[in-house]
Amino acid sequence: MAIALSILSVTPAAGCGGAGGGPGTSGTLTLYSAQHEGPTNALVKAFERQTGASVQVRFGADDELASQIAAEGSVSPADVFLAENSPPLTLLAEKGLLAKLASSTLARVPTKYNSPSGDWVGVAARETALIYDPRQVAPGQLPHSILDLAQPAWRGRLAIAPAEPDFQPVVAAVSKLDGEAAAERWLTGFQSNAKRYNDNEGIVAAVEHGQVAVGVVNHYYWYRLAQEVGFARMRSRLYYFGHGDPGALVDVSGAGVLRSSRRQSLAQRFVAFLVSSAGERALVRSGDWEYPLGSGVAPAPGLEPFDHLEAPSVAPADLGDGHVALGLLQRAGLL
């Protein structure tokens, strides 16, 4: 989700040393975060309570913050980057801007959700899904694959947010599984069929109010609205493609430590906290409806079980640094 750039300084109360205090935990850490403000702030506050350290947060969109870090280079004030999606982390790793993470941190998360070179770790996941209006689309009419939505039958009935960072990994997954030519043909169909929205929240609202039949979103946007208005009052429903379809892609938010950080010990401690039991419980309690990836913490009750999602065999690292997806979207006229 694109977020306007802002800075928030979160400082613990005086005398808050916390049980986790000790060497390498004092001082102020600077976090660049493309994650939603709610879960980010919940994680920061939990870390501060545990360590007594302070964290200053700069919020922005994935590509905006990654570009800023690359431009700042060795003088970046950032110590840690928390990305909404994995491609910006891959981009920074390719540029040699991320430090290696402690093996104990990486071990808390299944290997396939981490950087193969050990310089970022998966923190949270969400499933690509289809939100639909059952008044316009009966369950038996739902598409077998996300690729089917490029067919003329869906013209004017589909909503997408092509500029959303969450949509680009789906494009990368189609390209990875079926090739760039197939991905370009699919996106050309989307260009003809889809109504475009600025973000996932706009898609969820449009389908919920019957303005469009179906929309491609990450699952947690539906859950966030349902929590706000009441699950029983929701008119729209979620449909999970499953069976290894690219429309069942699991997107991963991850975190890495900047090589240029002058607070390496504290930065490593913070990233380790994100995937610890305490950190993942804070994520779940924040009400963001993502799946915690670290330390075996259970997701929020009511979510589809993570091991039932039948995601495609595409790891976050397989999605690359985003340039392939961006090029495909531009050639299809969606950006």
Please report, rounded to a whole number, the percentage of residues in the chain having pLDDT higher than 70.
Answer: 92
**CA 127 to CA 64: how far, in whole Å?**
23
**CA 159 to CA 196: how far, in whole Å?**
6
DSSP 166-233: THHHHHHHHHHHH-HHHHHHHHHHHHHHEEE-SSHHHHHHHHHTTSSSEEEEEHHHHHHHHHHH-GGG
Give, in order, the Cα–Cα distances in Å from 237 to each of 122, 139, 142, 243: 28, 10, 11, 19
Give me the pLDDT at residue 9, please: 39
**CA 79 to CA 263: how far, in whole Å?**
7
In contact, 244 and 63? CB cutoff 8 Å: no
Could you tell me the pLDDT band of residue 7, with boundaries at 50, 70 and 90?
Answer: very low
Give me the pLDDT at residue 26, please: 64
Query: Which H or E run includes 106?
Result: helix 103-106
Task: Please write the tens of the pLDDT for every residue from 159-195.
Answer: 999 999 999 999 999 999 999 999 999 999 999 999 9
Span 274-303, mean pLDDT?
A: 97
- Distance from the first to the final alpha carbon of the chain: 16
Residue type, 323: H
Give me the pLDDT at residue 4, please: 33
Give me the pLDDT at residue 25, please: 54
In contact, 233 and 159? CB cutoff 8 Å: no
Task: Please write the tens of the pLDDT for every residue from 121-169.
Answer: 999 999 999 999 999 999 999 999 999 999 999 999 999 999 999 999 9
Span 235-259, mean pLDDT?
A: 97
Task: Please write the tens of the pLDDT for every residue from 204-237.
Answer: 999 999 999 999 999 999 999 999 999 999 999 9
Give me the pLDDT at residue 276, please: 98
Mean pLDDT of the chain: 92
pTM of this prediction? Answer: 0.90
Contacts of 281-284 with CB under 8 Å at 24 or more apart are: 282/42, 282/43, 282/45, 282/46, 283/39, 283/42, 283/43, 283/123, 283/124
Task: Please write the tens of the pLDDT for every residue from 13-68.
Answer: 333 333 333 444 568 999 999 999 999 999 999 999 999 999 999 999 999 999 99
Span 269-279, mean pLDDT?
A: 98
Give me the pLDDT at residue 27, please: 84
